[in-house]
Structure 1
Amino acid sequence: MEIKAIVDCKTVLGEGPLWDVAEQKIYWIDSLGDRIFRADENGKGVESWPVPQHIGSMALRRSGGAVLSLAQGFYLFDFETSKTQVIEEIAHKGPTVRMNDGKVDKKGRFVAGSMDTTEEAPLGLIYSLGTDRKVTKIDDNITVSNGPCWSPDQKIFYFADSRSRAIWAYDYDIETGAATNKRKFCDFGPEDGLPDGATVDAEGCVWSAGVYKSKIHRFDPSGKRIQVIDFPTVCVASVMFGGANLDRLYVTTMLRAPVPGVVETGPLAGSLFVIDGLGVKGLPEYRYGG
């Protein structure tokens, strides 16, 4: 196994690595630096685009461009003009709430959650943006929404409320987008970090960034922790498989922690990393259908 930094981008809050099979490109975002990045699989030819608000997540669209969860809601984005178009602004529960992590299901829905930026109050929700551009609510009472992803058969939806120190599992109806029967999938102890960005590999195992504790965790489908990778930066934020064979794990990191009491060290903080030699493959990401 080899861990290496491939883009010294110094993202304030690097999140949302997204490998696109069609383009053979890796995308990622700086949530607090308000920017989208793109590069080839080795981190070469970096491009970037500004966005007008803090950005929680993005997904590419089948018809071109991207869909974004910006702080105040859902938007479309045009890479050629760098312009955003509002789909729906969200009436958050308070001024400290913004949109955060999101991904697309097999039917083309964009599922994203919101978070309390003080990371103290359960003011967030999970939303589903349908291909008809209508927004529905999946769950509420979330403090810090993170790590949405699905089992390979799309029957289980995984979601982390970071401050609960747990990843949760729901039964997922791919036809309707409904998530039911919420139960705890796995716990994170004090030395594991908090569950942040996540992805599912081809074997159905969940990979989660253990932010603030320099860890990446792999859990089997029963929720048993089967692998822990020690990472060279404290604030490891999110993970995604990519590369030509979907066997490289891309990892985003933070230049500085957004919460008090956590100190990041080292010259590689905020870089985009890749891990090779894991012997595991990921799954292609879907594009938003709206």
Structure 2
Amino acid sequence: MPELIGSFCETSKGRLMLALKSGLHFLDLETGGLQAWFDPEPALPNNRLNDGKCDRQGRFWVGSMNDGDRIPTGTLYSVLGNGTSTAHLSGITIPNSLAWSPDGKKMYFADTPAKSIQVFDFDTEDGVPYNPRTFLDMSSHAGRPDGATVDAEGCLWSAHIHAGQVVRYTPQGRRDRTIQLPVTGVTSCAFGGDRLETLFITTATQGLTEQALREQPLAGALFAVNAGVSGVCDTPFAEAC
């Protein structure tokens, strides 16, 4: 890829949509062709797109962030198949933890440096999050919230970067299960496999010293864990006909 991939999703036309520094691009899986499509922030060249995911109705949500200074210039957008976007939250430093409850009526989101995950009520028809409140306060935790996913029972699986953990939380915010990894840079997780019972966990080497890399030889690896519960199928991005 010519740029760092912040996130990606499948589309209703069987291709991938990638969130890159220069905006959203379509990737043809057969030819490998990359087509630039939409940039929500052409006037902010120091920003890039980061965490993104589709809601249950097929809108793509993606957050932007400053790629160098880590200053709060980021915004959370929703994007429709006709190329129109709506800004929902601003003043973001590192957008992460996007996820929806199985019925689509709750949305999760985190600005990683704030060390908390917010939950919103979500208007599924209009695609508007409202009534934000703190779902998880991580101010006393070793890690910070990174990527997340939701299982069929409505529990949130949260990757805790710098702590080397993926933690399952009940809809009430109670810690239910902890997966400890042999690396600190745990970045995200997603369900896959034939029955969506395998939790795939991504990790990173970014920011690790040479000594830390020697101590964590599996840093940057993709882990697969039998979660003991099924995930929820993601809705493809609803491309315009």
Q: Corresponding residue for 1:110?
A: 60
Select which of 16, 20, 28 maps to 1:66. 16
Rounded Cα–Cα distance in structure 1 between residues aligned with 2:114 and 2:9: 26
Deviations along 1:135-165, one digit per CA (max 9) or x if unpaired, are 1112111110012110111011101111110
Gap runs ≥5 in structure 2: none
Relative to structure 1, the CA distance from residue 94 to residue 256 in structure 2 (aligned partners, 3 Å threshold; closer, same or farther) is same
Rounded Cα–Cα distance in structure 2 between residues aligned with 1:52 and 1:63: 23
RMSD between superposed Cα atoms in Å:
2.0
Rounded Cα–Cα distance in structure 2 between residues aligned with 1:181 and 1:92: 30
Greater Cα offset, 146-155 or 263-272: 263-272
Select which of 142, 150, 164 maps to 2:114. 164
Q: CA deviation at 1:93?
A: 7.0
Q: Corresponding residue for 2:237?
A: 288
Deviations along 1:106-151, one digit per CA (max 9) or x if unpaired, are 2111111112234632111111111222111121111100121101
With the length of structure 1 as denominator, give the TM-score of the two structures: 0.77
Rounded Cα–Cα distance in structure 2 between residues aligned with 1:191 and 1:106: 31
Select which of 27, 30, 39 maps to 1:80. 30
1:152 aligns with 2:102: yes
Deviations along 1:211-270, one digit per CA (max 9) or x if unpaired, are 011111111111222222211111111001111111111001112328x8x944322111
Q: CA deviation at 1:101?
A: 0.8
Q: Corresponding residue for 1:121?
A: 71
Q: CA deviation at 1:286?
A: 1.2
The residue type equivalent to 2:71 in the other structure is A
The residue type equivalent to 1:211 in the other structure is I
Q: For residue 6 of structure 2, give the secondary structure of its aligned residue in structure 1.
A: strand
Rounded Cα–Cα distance in structure 2 between residues aligned with 1:52 and 1:162: 26
Q: Corresponding residue for 2:91?
A: 141
The residue type equivalent to 1:222 in the other structure is Q
Rounded Cα–Cα distance in structure 1 between residues aligned with 2:92 and 2:43: 11
Q: Corresponding residue for 2:185?
A: 235
Rounded Cα–Cα distance in structure 1 between residues aligned with 2:109 and 2:94: 10
Rounded Cα–Cα distance in structure 2 between residues aligned with 1:272 and 1:282: 18
The answer to whether the 8 Å contact 1:119/1:163 transfers is no
Q: Corresponding residue for 1:245?
A: 195
Gap runs ≥5 in structure 1: 1-50
Relative to structure 1, the CA distance from residue 193 to residue 67 in structure 2 (aligned partners, 3 Å threshold; closer, same or farther) is same
The answer to whether the 8 Å contact 1:242/1:248 transfers is yes
The answer to whether the 8 Å contact 2:56/2:100 transfers is no
Q: Corresponding residue for 2:228?
A: 279
Q: For residue 70 of structure 2, give the secondary structure of its aligned residue in structure 1.
A: coil
Q: Corresponding residue for 1:225?
A: 175
Rounded Cα–Cα distance in structure 2 between residues aligned with 1:263 and 1:159: 29
Q: Corresponding residue for 2:146?
A: 196
Q: CA deviation at 1:92?
A: 6.1
Rounded Cα–Cα distance in structure 2 between residues aligned with 1:114 and 1:184: 21
Greater Cα offset, 53-62 or 221-230: 221-230
Q: Corresponding residue for 1:47?
A: none
Query: With CA pairs under 8 Å and 6+ residues apart, which has the higher RCO, 1 or 2?
Result: 1
Q: For residue 55 of structure 1, give the secondary structure of its aligned residue in structure 2.
A: coil
